[in-house]
């Protein structure tokens, strides 16, 4: 590979090469008989590629942020970080941004989102992917939806969601014996399963997302009661790390402390044989939720029954209540961040 002095620099005593990580220029295959330092260098490049293009991918598609260098500099310490919660945080933030009508592309670990959909919605699974191993998301690695028109595919997907029945959704697909036999036993240790049931904040640098698992208890084998009011942290949606050179554990100290005490916020509930929503939750959802995604003209023929206007629309007065954060004023009515996540939002709102 060669060490070009113009591209070689050191971070925490470890040599790095500045350049493009691809299959043609710098890293192809680790040569046979390579010494330990060369193997570690290739391992760092591979990990950087996973971080920048898989777990924490952005819309550039071919760039990796320099902030990952301190993490790959010390390979022995990488196992001490909670990469799963950070990837989930980034996925939540990307899904929040794409909900804005000014944002047209979705970033983030989309292969995890696709795997979650296929495991829980059997009707959406492509045919021919019955064999799987660990990791579970690799089951759909060869799936390619094709290049059909996006508009008709979106309309058809919305209609299929509207026509879903209770039996068309699997609450606990990972608890079946054929899945458990390929899952690493370490994943099922109490110190990890406890984290699944923590109502806490997930943190990815400056990105803070509320992990409110008390609203999805059937995924853990419980009965879903009416949810508590959601925590209003809309002001955190504009914080993405582009706010100057700040040390986030100090600048966002309150949220980091909540993560450190996550063991104190583990949900306690009874595990039942047939998990699902309670009657009280269904009544709450019918009052606050938008029941159908498709227009009435698409739902008329398949169902053959008239659909009330109240069922397809949700009035402004039915929006669920939200708890305010202590010490933070609620300025949603004054500062309506209609373009949060776009390039123009930060400059204009300052």
List pLDDT tens digits, range 330-340: 554 444 444 44
pLDDT at 170: 93
Distance (Å, whole) CA 225 – CA 281: 5
At residue 64, φ and ψ (nearest 5 deg) are -125, 130
What are the structure tokens assigned to 324, written together? Answer: 């305010």
pLDDT at 10: 47
Comparing 11-25, 65-79, 248-262, 264-278, the range with the smallest average pLDDT is 11-25
Positions of E strands within the chain: 8-11, 14-17, 200-204, 207-211, 223-224, 230-232, 276-277, 322-324
pLDDT at 184: 86
Asked if 229 and 324 touch (Cβ cutoff 8 Å), the reply is no
What are the structure tokens assigned to 55, written together? Answer: 């777990």
* Packing angle, helices 296-303 and 150-162, rounded to 10: 50
pLDDT at 300: 59
pLDDT at 327: 61
Comparing 118-132, 207-221, 223-237, the range with the smallest average pLDDT is 223-237
Asked if 86 and 208 touch (Cβ cutoff 8 Å), the reply is no
Residue 177 in this model has a pLDDT that exceeds 60: yes
Distance (Å, whole) CA 68 – CA 64: 8
For range 225-241, the mean pLDDT: 78
**Residue scoring higher pLDDT (262 or 306):** 262
pTM (two decimals): 0.75
Q: How many other C-beta atoms can be found within 10 angstroms of the C-beta atom of residue 261?
A: 10
Query: Which pairs from 78-84 meet CB under 8 Å and 24+ separation?
Result: 78/47, 82/195, 83/55
Largest pairwise CA distance in the chain: 74
Per-domain boundaries in the chain: 1-79, 82-140+153-330
pLDDT at 74: 86
Q: What is the dihedral of CA 306, 307, 310, 312, to 10 degrees?
A: -160
Peptide bond into 135 cis (omega under 30): yes
Residue 222 in this model has a pLDDT that exceeds 90: yes
Average pLDDT, the chain: 77
For range 308-314, the mean pLDDT: 54
Residue 296 in this model has a pLDDT that exceeds 50: yes
pLDDT at 11: 44
Give the model confidence (pLDDT) of 234-277 as tens digits.
777 777 665 555 566 676 778 888 888 888 889 989 999 889 99
CB contact set of 225 (below 8 Å; sequence gap of 6+): 217, 278, 280, 281
Under DSSP, is residue 188 helix (H, G, I), strand (E, B) or coil?
helix
Residue of 221, 232, 213 whose CA lies nearest to 269: 221
pLDDT at 8: 43
């Amino acid at each position: 590979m060669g060490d070009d002095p113009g591209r070689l620099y050191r971070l925490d005593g470890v040599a790095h090469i500045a350049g493009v990580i691809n299959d043609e220029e710098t890293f192809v295959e680790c040569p046979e008989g390579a010494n330990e330092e060369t193997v570690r260098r290739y391992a760092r490049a591979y990990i950087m590629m996973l971080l920048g293009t898989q777990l924490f991918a952005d819309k550039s598609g071919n760039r990796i942020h320099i902030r990952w260098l301190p993490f790959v500099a010390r390979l022995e310490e990488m196992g001490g970080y909670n990469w799963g919660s950070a990837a989930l945080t980034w996925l939540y933030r990307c899904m929040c941004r794409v909900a804005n009508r000014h944002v047209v592309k979705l970033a983030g670990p989309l292969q995890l989102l696709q795997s979650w959909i296929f495991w829980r919605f059997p009707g959406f699974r492509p045919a021919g992917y019955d064999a799987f191993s660990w990791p579970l998301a690799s089951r759909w690695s060869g799936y390619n939806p094709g290049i059909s028109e996006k508009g008709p595919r979106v309309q058809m997907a919305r209609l299929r969601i509207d026509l879903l029945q209770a039996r068309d959704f699997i609450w606990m697909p990972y608890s079946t014996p054929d899945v458990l036999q390929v899952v690493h036993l370490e994943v099922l240790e109490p110190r990890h399963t406890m984290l699944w049931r923590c109502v806490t904040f997930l943190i990815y640098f400056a990105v803070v997302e509320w992990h409110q698992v008390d609203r999805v208890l059937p995924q853990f084998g419980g009965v879903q009661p009416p949810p508590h009011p959601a925590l209003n942290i809309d002001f955190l949606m504009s914080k993405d790390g582009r706010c100057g050179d700040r040390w986030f554990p100090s600048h966002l100290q309150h949220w980091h402390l909540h993560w450190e005490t996550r063991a104190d916020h583990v949900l306690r509930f009874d595990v039942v044989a047939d998990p699902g929503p309670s009657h009280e939750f269904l009544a709450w959802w019918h009052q606050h939720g938008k029941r159908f995604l498709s227009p009435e003209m698409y739902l008329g023929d398949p169902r053959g029954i008239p659909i009330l206007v109240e069922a397809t629309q949700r009035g402004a007065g039915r929006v669920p209540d939200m708890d305010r954060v202590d010490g933070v004023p609620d300025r949603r009515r004054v500062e309506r961040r209609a373009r949060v996540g776009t390039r123009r939002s930060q400059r204009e709102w300052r």
